[in-house]
């Protein structure tokens, strides 16, 4: 197998891990105004992701860094063409991170409400715009013969990409609700479970619409198969949530995200950014990649350090595996 293909697959794995882990972070942040009836319950919701949210964002940094090093042409065209939405995502992530740190610095009610709003907006904006961005990548964008983006911001807000944004919003919020039900006990566990049941009824038709549209426009066999598997996993989350089998329900929503990302990248391959102006202008794993020497060096670095990072993050989740309840939150 060529190293360009290996690194395309590795970048797909990094994005899948990011959506799996940061997805429930976004979901909890979006649900914060709805599950937090008072200060203690809001703190309980935040504490479920408190030890892990910043570690989950490392997957995004590594995915971006790997793209820059392995496929510099892809990175350059993506970040120049999608500059405004990616800037909005970056600002939202910064505001969200600051909100987590500064929320508890003062005891004022108005102070904490402002930071709670920052957490909500900082979670909502990326949850939508990631779907819009990947919807456009899969659909294709105007790329000229110099591999430069030749469109505008408004062109990115097409119906297919917007449906992709609604899909990631629905899936992340459902994923977060199931995570809250899994990580808490008492009234919040019941409330989060009920919210998850309702959200599942919304997420299924929205995601189904996006998958059907994708299947009609992209007939790749493996992509369709993975999309169907993602749909099955998503539907299975409904009875599991109703049965209060939160662990299995979280596995189902997680599998939905992993399979959806896998379907996206499989359908995209060997392109990394298709051109709607001329297929000959499309960026592929071959014309957008770094030199073979660079890819070899990166491969050896990944072989040594990736297992260490996975072990450390797995250990973090193991340490903080306990369910939380209101009695754990001081008055």
Tell me the mean pLDDT in the region 62-73: 92
Most trustworthy range by pLDDT among 12-21, 236-245, 276-285: 12-21
Where do we find the tokens 């508890």? 104
Q: Model's pTM, two decimal places?
A: 0.93
Residue 331 has pLDDT above 70, yes or no: no
**What band does 105 get if pLDDT is binned at 50, 70 and 90?**
confident
For the chain, give the mean pLDDT. 90
Q: Are 32 and 300 in contact (CB under 8 A)?
A: no
CA distance 101 to 105: 8
Residue 328 has pLDDT above 80, yes or no: no
Residue 262 near residue 14 (C-beta atoms within 8 A): no
Contact 119, 29 (CB under 8 A): yes
List pLDDT tens digits, range 118-173.
999 999 999 999 999 999 999 989 998 888 888 888 888 899 999 999 999 999 99
- On the CB side of 259, CA atoms within 13 Å amount to 21
> For residue range 248-299, what is the model confidence (pLDDT) as tens digits?
999 999 999 999 999 999 999 889 999 988 888 899 999 889 989 999 999 9
pLDDT bracket for residue 1 (50, 70, 90)? low
As a whole number of angstroms, the distance between CA 274 and CA 141 comes to 7
pLDDT surpassing 70 at residue 90: yes
Which pLDDT belongs to residue 173?
96
Distance CA 29, CA 180 (A): 11
HEC string for 15-31? HHHHHHHHHHHHHHHHH
Residue-wise pLDDT tens digits, 176-231: 999 999 999 888 899 999 999 999 989 999 998 998 888 788 767 788 888 889 98
pLDDT of residue 60: 92
pLDDT at position 221: 75
Res 37 pLDDT > 80? no
């Amino acid at each position: 197998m060529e190293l360009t293909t290996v690194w395309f697959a590795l970048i797909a794995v990094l994005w899948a891990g990011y959506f799996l882990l940061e997805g429930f972070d976004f979901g909890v942040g979006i649900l914060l105004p709805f599950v937090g009836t008072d200060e203690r319950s809001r703190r309980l919701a935040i504490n479920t992701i408190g030890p892990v949210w910043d570690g989950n964002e490392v997957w995004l940094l590594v995915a971006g860094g790997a793209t820059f090093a392995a496929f510099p042409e892809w990175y350059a065209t993506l970040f120049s063409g999608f500059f405004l939405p990616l800037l909005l995502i970056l600002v939202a992530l910064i505001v969200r991170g600051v909100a987590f740190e500064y929320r508890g610095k003062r005891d004022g009610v108005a102070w904490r409400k402002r930071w709670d709003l920052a957490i909500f907006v900082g979670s909502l904006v990326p949850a939508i715009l990631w779907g819009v961005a990947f919807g456009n990548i899969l659909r294709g964008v105007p790329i000229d013969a110099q591999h430069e983006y030749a469109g505008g911001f408004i062109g990115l807000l097409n119906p297919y990409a917007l449906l992709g944004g609604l899909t990631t919003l629905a899936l992340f919020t459902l994923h977060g609700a199931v995570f809250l039900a899994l990580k808490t006990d008492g009234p919040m566990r019941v409330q989060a479970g009920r919210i998850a049941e309702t959200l599942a009824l919304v997420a299924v038709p929205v995601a189904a619409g996006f998958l059907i549209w994708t299947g009609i426009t992209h007939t790749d066999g493996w992509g369709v198969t993975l999309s169907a598997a993602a749909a099955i996993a998503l539907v299975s989350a409904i009875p599991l949530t109703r049965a209060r089998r939160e662990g299995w329900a979280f596995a189902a929503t997680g599998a939905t995200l992993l399979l959806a990302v896998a379907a996206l990248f499989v359908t995209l391959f060997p392109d990394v950014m298709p051109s709607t102006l001329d297929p000959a202008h499309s960026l592929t794993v071959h014309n957008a990649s770094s030199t073979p020497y660079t890819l070899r060096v990166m491969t050896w670095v990944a072989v040594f350090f990736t297992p260490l990072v996975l072990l450390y993050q797995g250990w973090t989740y193991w340490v903080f595996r306990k369910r939380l309840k209101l009695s754990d939150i001081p008055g």
